[in-house]
Structure 1
Amino acid sequence: MTMKLYAVSDGPPSLAVRMVFQTLNIPYELIDVDFIAGEHMTAEYAKMNPQKEIPVLDDAGFYLSESIAIMQYLCDKYAPNNPLYPRDPAKRAIVNHRLCFNMAFYYSAISAHCMAPIFFDYQRTDMSLKKVNNALNVLETYLREGGTKYAATDNVTIADFALITATICLEAINFDLSTYPLVIKWYERFKQENPDSWIIANAGMQEIAQFEKNPPDLSHMNHPFHPTRKAKVSTGV
């Protein structure tokens, strides 16, 4: 039975998971979740993921949410010896660290500054900008001190997928990265050396850029993220 991935076309976590499917050449059915219509807030969706976040994997009735867990699962089940998720304990530990760093520190700051003002009732502030710059400074440090071509090792790993798809949000709003030369070098290298993965990321980035120029209309009162409500800023979309 072909796996199903419930995803959004511009959501960084969804894009990262799609990169794993593409890189490992795993067949799957991509099911687009209409975030604007609130399809992920339905009772039916909640049966798959009580958190009501995106993406969700359906592997023959085995439901798994959280993009990191999905990427790890796909690698462990379908490509256990692939360097995309190395088996060496030390290397895997660094990959896992970068994934945690992205979820809790890097994308969380970027999401609040870039995505929340588009999809939620939030504003970009000096504090949100400070948090993004702090996150970029830390990534710059990891890239410098790690001395590797990519975020965790000398080859692309699932950590890069997560971090790259977070960084596209900055490009989408024309964020100035010029003071982070190693971040730029890593980001541009990914684009050049991983063209198939970049096609996925770039398509999502272009959508975010369009939403930045023309925010979606969430004024209908039945929408769970009506602008008059303070909604949770989630890293799961």
Structure 2
Amino acid sequence: MTAATGCGGASGVASAPPAKLKLYSYWRSSCSFRVRIALNLKGLEYEYVPVNLLKGEQFSAEFSKLNPIHYVPALADGDFVLADSFAILMYLEEKYPHHHPLLPSDLVKRAINYQAANIVSSSIQPLQNLYVLKFIGEKVGPSEPLSWVQYHIDRGFSALEKVLAGHAGKYATGDEICLADVFLAPQIYAAVKRFNVDMSQYPILSKLHEAYSETPAFQDALPENQPDAPEP
């Protein structure tokens, strides 16, 4: 099977079909969303195993063995289990480099991808996760979590607009979908759909959001399209 041309501009022929993977995911988790996008882009089949964070299933004895810090996603590849979305994405990239590469061969573009991904994964998303918002709501006040999230998203998005200026094309660092896009798409989606962020301040990110909404690999990974999403 010939893989689609990816970020590095390379395509290849798989020597054998990869074994089916197992993804432990929660429909609304942006970290799980990232991995779903990458699996779709790389054309890798996987079994979806829902972990309901609101019901506390991440604290079960079974899931604690998979990820002792109790976050989703976790990915099982046979007997090997890996947690943390960034680690999972790097694992998939190195194991399946010819299935839609996510990293550009150009060193500067690759560095920009790492920088943008890290802004999302280190400076925005951890500050909006379920544990943080629950803590703020309980310790500070029920009206505080939204303003907290909006502040940190705005701070991160302002930085991303500057970082991507001069690099963005149809996608974050050109006209191919790369690692930065895998991180940006879930974060922008959450900003728009969950946290009511005014995107008019962010023309580059708004343009990317439109491109992602037209891309099947992103559409199929959307929270509302997952088997554990609640009925509309």
TM-score by length of 2: 0.76
Q: SS where residue 201 of structure 2 aligns?
A: coil
Q: SS where residue 6 of structure 1 aligns?
A: strand
Over 3 Å counting, the alpha-carbon distance change for 1:127 and 1:11 in structure 2 is: closer
Instruction: Say if 2:42 and 2:99, in contact at 8 Å, map to a contact too.
Output: no
Question: What is the deviation of 1:202?
Answer: 5.5
Show the counterpart of 1:182.
204
Show the counterpart of 1:67.
85
Show the counterpart of 2:162.
141
Over 3 Å counting, the alpha-carbon distance change for 1:189 and 1:59 in structure 2 is: same
Q: 2:181 aligns with which of 119, 137, 160?
A: 160
Q: For 1:14 and 1:120, how far apart are their aligned partners in 2?
A: 24
**Letter of the structure 1 residue corresponding to residue 153 of structure 2:** V
Show the counterpart of 1:116.
133
Show the counterpart of 1:94.
112
Over 3 Å counting, the alpha-carbon distance change for 1:170 and 1:127 in structure 2 is: closer
Instruction: Say if 2:136 and 2:145, in contact at 8 Å, map to a contact too.
Output: no
Show the counterpart of 2:13.
none
Q: For 2:158 and 2:57, how far apart are their aligned partners in 1?
A: 36
TM-score by length of 1: 0.75
Structure with the bigger RCO (C-alpha within 8 Å, sep 6+) is 1
Q: SS where residue 121 of structure 2 aligns?
A: helix
1:17 aligns with 2:17: no
Q: For 2:193 and 2:23, how far apart are their aligned partners in 1?
A: 24
Instruction: Say if 1:142 and 1:151, in contact at 8 Å, map to a contact too.
Output: no
Show the counterpart of 1:29.
47
Question: What is the deviation of 1:59?
Answer: 0.9
Q: For 1:4 and 1:79, how far apart are their aligned partners in 2?
A: 19
Show the counterpart of 2:66.
48
Instruction: Say if 1:15 and 1:204, in contact at 8 Å, map to a contact too.
Output: no
Identity of aligned residues (%): 26
**Letter of the structure 2 residue corresponding to residue 171 of structure 1:** V
Over 3 Å counting, the alpha-carbon distance change for 1:119 and 1:42 in structure 2 is: farther
1:84 aligns with 2:102: yes
Question: What is the deviation of 1:88?
Answer: 4.5
Instruction: Say if 1:72 and 1:85, in contact at 8 Å, map to a contact too.
Output: no
Question: What is the deviation of 1:147?
Answer: 4.1
Q: For 1:126 and 1:14, how far apart are their aligned partners in 2?
A: 24
Count matched residues: 205
Q: For 1:13 and 1:112, how far apart are their aligned partners in 2?
A: 10
Over 3 Å counting, the alpha-carbon distance change for 1:108 and 1:37 in structure 2 is: closer
1:58 aligns with 2:76: yes
Over 3 Å counting, the alpha-carbon distance change for 1:10 and 1:112 in structure 2 is: closer
